[in-house]
Chains A and B, each alone.
Chain A
Amino acid sequence: MIPLVVLGAVIAVLVIASGLKDFGWTFWGFQYRFVPGEPEASSWGIGVFLVGTFLTAGLSLVLATLLSLALAISSVVYLPPLPGRLLSMVTNLLAGIPSVIYGIWGFVVLAPYFGMALEPSLKDVLGWLPGFGGPDSAIGPWGTLLAVFILTIMIIPLTTALMRESLRSVPRELVEAGLALGATRWEVVRRVRMRVARNGLWSAVLLGFGRALGESVAVAMVIGGTSIALPPSLYASSTTVASFIFSQLDSALLYPDLFILLVEFSLVLLGIAVVVNLVAQRFTRVELATATTLGGGG
């Protein structure tokens, strides 16, 4: 019962802390302007943060899902057992690297590369796609795309391990039945394994999503975060709910209104995370053993 009590306590305390203060309908809007000491002149829309959260988490989830599927399929189906296990181990090691370290690596090492090389060439090649055309980040090389990249790497170990486990748990007889009908390995993956393991794969995607949208530190370090507006392009800086809460500590200490606002932001974030996790659980039971050895919340 302890986990339940703790979970209940977390929710209860946050609700009490917020005092259920009503910021009005603008709370769900896209206007965010904080004027210290002047509540009348401030507006507190969470919209921009939610867009940033879903944008970064969503994009990184797409990339991570593709890569993880590739990794899982090749280690379960294509690679011989030993290299397969070895590479799985290396992927698991990625999971162990702390998020602050991804953050500092992204901030110091990757950012110049993104700003000077990757983003200009992306703009040249994919400029016609919405979001890829520019403008650049106004505050230097940090921005949405870098955050997406870091998040992708951060959630890959979790999604890969979960996907590997669910692809592997497909009954051997079914796989053999597919092969015995003259299907190639790939066709068995597509038509048998992925179909039988569908629930497990979906839960992997959802748990990865939960992980990505809750990540605060690494995102706060690389996303720029200064402009609280919808990002005009993928290169521009933006902000997420989690990274905003994390980076606003100093201000929260000073302004009670902002503190309460952040508590309510936390509640929204918690609500989203709980829903995502509950949906993920509806899909599966078995995979939780793996989730245990790779972590969930950021």
Chain B
Amino acid sequence: MSPDRRAPVHVASAAPTKEVSVLLCPKCGTSVPPGFPSGPFRCSFCGTTLPVGTSESAPPVSSVARPGSAGGILSVQGLSVLAKAKPLISDVSLDIPEGKVTAIIGPSGCGKTTLLRSMNRMVELHALRVKGKVLYQGRDIYDAQVNPVLVRRRIGMVFQRPTVFPTSVYENVAFGLRLDGESEEVIEKTVVSALHRTGLWDEVKGSLDLPALTLSGGQQQRLCIARALAVSPRVLLMDEPTSSLDPVGTQRVEDLIFELKNDYTVVIVTHNMQQAARVADLTAFMYQGRLIEFDSTKRIFEQPREKLTENYITGRFG
């Protein structure tokens, strides 16, 4: 653990389509480095030891070629979300690679928002039942021992419509920092840098004390992104972040997403295929609660494997 969590973490990610098999500790699920030496297995996290050659010691998972499977910062495994008995998404597995923009597309009602909202336990607020796992840093975020607060601190979210609080511009960005009881100096520094980061600084530096609701829609949305960045998350989930914005606002937010991806992992749900093509490195296509295809954006848009994807991409339905 680095003591300064505010410093952006630059990690080179695995090549998107390289096939890797990952070894996991059978007890706690920690991934074991691929170059694991032969010899007795000892999990560095839970301390489980297993003799050499135990068949269950290192079951390979993710043997299907999934983009960036090894370095996935978030790994969704066999996830189903049910409202009463009706599945909203069923048996979805995908790995979100670190430091990339991943888009989730699909027709309305396909479960893309539900999938996104299950990645930081937002689904729990709607009395939905979750089956399967979402691993973050190798640990299931739905583990009973894990508090959702901790999940959401690291996996932030930006919503369809700007959700600014009825306080000043400054206080909106400072919201998460105040909870942490940071000193006023730290707060000010972080607020300013978050506003710089989102390109808002020049636009709002004179009006930090004005109510945030006086900003334009696009500015409000970028303020929400700044607010999310201020608590230094590692993943940013975005639920159709531009659907309520005008073209100029949309352009700004897209530019911002493009710029953020070096330091943050971004997952964006969009109904706008052009947007996915513009901003995303990887694209997942969902249909009727299932993940149909997940690959590099280029591949999805140029030569999809599945007929269904092709039909959607070419506008035969949607």
The verdict on B179 contacting chain A, using a C-beta distance below 8 Å, is yes
- Which of A81, A177, A180, A187 lies in contact with B165, CB distance below 8 A? A177
Size of interface on A: residues with Cβ below 8 Å to B = 18
Task: Label chain A's interface by main secondary structure.
Answer: helix
The verdict on B227 contacting chain A, using a C-beta distance below 8 Å, is yes
The verdict on A183 contacting chain B, using a C-beta distance below 8 Å, is yes
Q: Are A182 and B163 in contact (CB under 8 A)?
A: no
Q: Are B122 and A181 in contact (CB under 8 A)?
A: no
Q: Return the chain A residue nearest B177 by Cβ.
A: A181
Q: Are B149 and A183 in contact (CB under 8 A)?
A: yes
Q: Return the chain B residue nearest A187 by Cβ.
A: B179
> Closest approach, in angstroms, between the C-beta of A201 and any C-beta of chain B?
14
> Closest approach, in angstroms, between the C-beta of B91 and any C-beta of chain A?
26
Q: Are B127 and A181 in contact (CB under 8 A)?
A: no
Q: Are B125 and A179 in contact (CB under 8 A)?
A: yes
Q: Are A180 and B120 in contact (CB under 8 A)?
A: yes
> Closest approach, in angstroms, between the C-beta of B103 and any C-beta of chain A?
19
Q: Are A182 and B179 in contact (CB under 8 A)?
A: yes
- Which of A174, A180, A183 lies in contact with B179, CB distance below 8 A? A183
Q: Are A182 and B152 in contact (CB under 8 A)?
A: yes
Q: Provide the residues of chain B in CB contact with A192, threshold 8 Å.
A: 165
| Stretch of B68-76, B138-146, B154-162, B257-265 on the interface side | B154-162
Q: Provide the residues of chain B in CB contact with A179, threshold 8 Å.
A: 122, 125, 148, 152
Q: Return the chain A residue nearest B180 by Cβ.
A: A182
- Which of B120, B160, B166, B175 lies in contact with A178, CB distance below 8 A? B175
Q: Return the chain B residue nearest A182 by Cβ.
A: B153
Q: Are A181 and B227 in contact (CB under 8 A)?
A: yes
The verdict on B191 contacting chain A, using a C-beta distance below 8 Å, is no
The verdict on B269 contacting chain A, using a C-beta distance below 8 Å, is no
- Which of B120, B127, B175 lies in contact with A191, CB distance below 8 A? B175
Q: A102-141: which residues lie under 8 A (CB-CB) from chain B?
A: none
> Closest approach, in angstroms, between the C-beta of A141 and any C-beta of chain B?
48
- A180 with B157, Cβ < 8 A, contacts A173-B163, A174-B163, A192-B165 known: yes
Q: Are B179 and A81 in contact (CB under 8 A)?
A: no
- Which of A181, A187, A191 lies in contact with B156, CB distance below 8 A? A181
Q: Are A181 and B167 in contact (CB under 8 A)?
A: no
> Closest approach, in angstroms, between the C-beta of A295 and any C-beta of chain B?
31
Interface centre among A179, A180, A192, A196 (most CB of B within 10 A): A180
Q: Provide the residues of chain B in CB contact with A182, threshold 8 Å.
A: 149-150, 152-153, 156, 176, 179, 231
Measured CA separation A196–B164 after assembly (Å): 11
**A-B residue pairs, 3 tightest by C-beta:** A182-B153, A177-B163, A180-B157
18 additional contacts, CB 8 Å, given A178-B165, A179-B125, A181-B227? A81-B127, A173-B163, A176-B163, A180-B120, A180-B152, A180-B157, A180-B159, A182-B149, A182-B150, A182-B152, A182-B153, A182-B156, A182-B176, A183-B149, A183-B179, A191-B175, A191-B179, A195-B165
Q: List 9 A-B contacts (CB under 8 A).
A: A81-B127, A173-B159, A176-B122, A176-B157, A179-B125, A180-B159, A181-B156, A182-B176, A195-B167
